[in-house]
Amino acid sequence: MLSLSDLLPCEIPNGKQLVDNGREIGAATTMGISAFCRAHGVTSELEYKLKMAREGRTMTALTIGLQDWPDTRAGLEKIYRACEERGFYIDRYILALDRRMGLPAEMRAAAIKETGPLLVTAADWNEVAQSVPIQPHLGDMMIGSPASVDNTRRALEAGVNYIGNMSQFAWKYQGWPGDDVDQMAEVVKALGLMASKADAGAVVHSYLDDGFPAQFGDYSSYVGWAKFERYVVEELIGAKLGIAYGGLTHRPVMKMVVAMAIEESRPANVATSFYYTNTTRYTPIMEENYGILGVDALHLMLADRHSRGGAAIMPVPVTEAIRIPSPDEIIDAQTVARTIAATVPDIYDTVNWPVLEAQRDNLVTQGNHFFDNIINGLNDAGVDITDPLQVLVAVRRLGSAGIERHFGVGTPTEDPAFDGYEPIVPTDVLQDFLNVRNELREVSRPKSWTLNRSHKAVIASSDVHELGMRLVVDVTESLGIKPVIGSVGVDPDELAELALLEEATAVLVSTHNGMALSYGESLMRELAARNIKPQVIFGGKLNQDVKGSEMPVDVTDELTALGIDVCHNLKDLASIIKN
């Protein structure tokens, strides 16, 4: 049974007052109009999206974020010109920013750099919406972050209309000294600012795969969570919410069904943000990746045509599994997407829609139960479910696993495979985790392995990717090593302090966001400052932004020179850990 003391601090600001504060900021904020909107004769991206949905146009989007804004702007200009020469245009671009952008401006210089640009000057912000006639989308590190209010205001003034990422309220931002209440207060105030501009076309964006749903084991929970975010943003605050989905679901038909189910809670006056093609099935074989891209994009385009939700399709370049895609690779993916889009009207009528709609309706029913469980459960615990700050702080403190255990519509279970909850419609993330885990368990502990009983490993992720960290935990357990679980997005000093307190013999770090070397340097300094020398092992995407290089470069050798051991495959962990 949940209690209020488990979910909320004794004193917490009034969330409704924070919304009003945000609306006051909005009253003094003037929304800009982008070069794209002017070119298409509309006042906002929402107006454009709803128009395209009525006309049946398949829209596309791209994601880009190079080392800095000038490089990114140059990449956008190159992409726009190349696509124009090929006879098509792209509807929107998603700017992938450095995670430091989520910190207040005065804190960014001291934080660790990741892949992606920072917007520093007023000219940078203005150019985001004016440099090319592609509509900008600012999803990452805006709403959800400790810098939510200032970033949202600047984005609106520049001419950006879809601003998020609401789901990132669950993130921890490295270098942020405040607590979760401080961060959530900024989020709620920024949502109030967006509410003040809702009638002018401002839409709060939420990419569900960047939040708690990415860790859910049940698509029923996933669909119900979409309704929960709508409840907070639309009912409690009065803003509009545009949802995005897709990167972590690789079964094409299931992807259509989930997208269709999410669309069922969308109000008619709001357009969906975007659908992501698959980000989990690409391999080093580019020919295979093109096949995956084509199949995934087609199914998403069909689902969008059926729902008429106004989603832009985001075709992921085929090099995504290896490194940050270049502008040329983005152009190629967009060309594939436009070619596929031309076939959608003919293929649409061949799909057995009643079968898919029946699956959709089942997911919607289960999702509604999940939503009701959240609202009723929070209310029973004493949370004021009309106060957006209380609601967000409460679910953030529960975490993804706690949310499903308490509110999920599946079955409670003692089976350790399901972390206390057996789903009704298992997510691809859960099935992938179980498959990889079983494969690793078969090979990760060699017959020659002998356990040093004093082993204790602290395990954490330098970014928000929790699945990799969970696999590391499982492999260490299979080796008989006691894991001490840190957190995602953990700061090097926090990780070093945990290693000191736990008297850890090893520190294992999963990293992905182009910061491996700088994070490693900082971690080794923090360990030395505490006069401890655990073995340090890094895995994941071991790359780093380097001045003079357009793309992040591999830094395995540099990590090794620091005294950090590198694990490229968890199957090899037993041979790397010093026993």
Domain with residue 183: its CATH number is: 3.20.20.440
Query: Is the same domain home to 346 and 472?
Result: no
**pLDDT (tens digit, 0 to 9) for every residue of the chain, 579 residues total?**
788 888 999 899 999 999 999 999 999 999 999 999 999 999 999 999 999 999 999 999 999 998 899 999 999 999 999 999 999 999 999 999 998 999 999 999 988 888 789 999 999 999 999 999 999 999 999 999 999 999 999 999 999 999 999 999 998 888 888 889 999 999 999 999 999 999 999 999 999 999 999 989 999 999 999 999 999 999 999 999 999 999 999 999 999 999 999 999 999 999 999 999 988 889 889 999 999 999 999 999 999 999 999 999 999 999 987 778 899 999 999 999 999 999 999 999 999 999 999 999 999 999 999 999 999 999 999 999 999 999 999 999 998 889 998 999 998 777 666 667 789 999 998 888 888 877 777 666 666 666 666 788 888 887 666 767 778 888 888 788 888 887 777 888 888 988 898 888 888 988 876 778 888 888 999 999 999 999 899 988 888 766 666 667 888 888 899 888 888 888 888 788 876
Q: Are residues 335 and 474 in the same domain?
A: no
Asked whether residue 342 falls in the same domain as residue 459, the answer is: no
For residue 366, being part of any structural domain is answered with: no
* Inter-residue contact 124 to 69 (CB < 8 Å): yes
Contact assessment for residue 162 and residue 137, using Cβ atoms and an 8 Å cutoff: yes
Q: What is the DSSP letter of 202?
A: -
CA distance 274 to 206: 10
Residue 27 counted as domain residue: yes
Which of 354, 380, 410 is a domain's end point?
354
In angstroms, the CA 397 to CA 413 distance is 22
Where is the domain boundary, 300, 334, 354?
354
- CA–CA separation, 388 vs 165, rounded Å? 16
pTM of the model: 0.88
C-beta of residue 226 within 8 angstroms of C-beta of residue 272? no
Domain assignment present for residue 165? The answer is yes
Would residue 380 count as lying in a domain? no
- Shared domain for 168 and 59, answered yes or no, is yes
- Regarding whether 349 and 466 lie in a shared domain, the answer is no
Residue 283: half-sphere exposure toward Cβ, Cα within 13 Å: 5
Contact criterion met (CB below 8 Å) for 114 and 107: no
- Please list the alpha-helical segments (H only) found in 308-409: 327-341, 344-348, 353-381, 388-407
Give percent helix, percent strand, percent coil of the chain, each to the nearest 5: 50, 10, 35
Query: Residue 412 domain-assigned?
Result: no
Q: 364 Cβ partners below 8 Å, 6+ apart? A: 223, 261, 264, 265
- Residue 147 and residue 283 in one domain: yes
How far does the chain reach from its first CA to its final CA, in angstroms? 43
* CA 566 to centroid of chain Cα atoms: 26
Q: How many domains does the chain have?
A: 2
Whether residue 142 sits in one domain with residue 8: yes
Residues 25 and 160 in one domain: yes
Place of tokens 């726009």: 80
pLDDT at 548: 64
Q: Which CATH number goes with the domain that contains 548? A: 3.40.50.280
Residue 177 confidence (pLDDT) = 87
**Contact partners, residue 430, CB within 8 Å, separation at least 6:** 216, 217, 218, 418, 423
Contacts of 126 (CB under 8 A, 6+ apart): 32, 158
Q: Give the C-alpha separation, 209 to 226, whole Å.
A: 11
Domain that holds residue 549: 444-576
Whole-number Å distance between alpha carbons of 457 and 303 = 45
Residues 343 and 474 in one domain: no
Residue at which a domain ends, from 299, 333, 354 = 354
46-94 residue pLDDT tens: 999 999 999 999 999 999 998 899 999 999 999 999 999 999 999 999 9
In Å, how far from its chain's centre is CA 477? Answer: 28
Give the span between the Cα atoms of 83 and 75, in whole angstroms.
12
Q: Rounded to an integer, what distance in angstroms lies between the CA atom of residue 471 and that of residue 477?
A: 10
- Residue 199 located in a structural domain: yes
Residue 194 lies in a domain: yes
Burial class (CB in 10 A: 0-12, 13-18, 19+), 146: buried
Do 459 and 350 fall into the same domain? no
Burial of 391 (0-12, 13-18, 19+ CB in 10 A): buried
Look at residue 297 and tell me if it is in a domain: yes
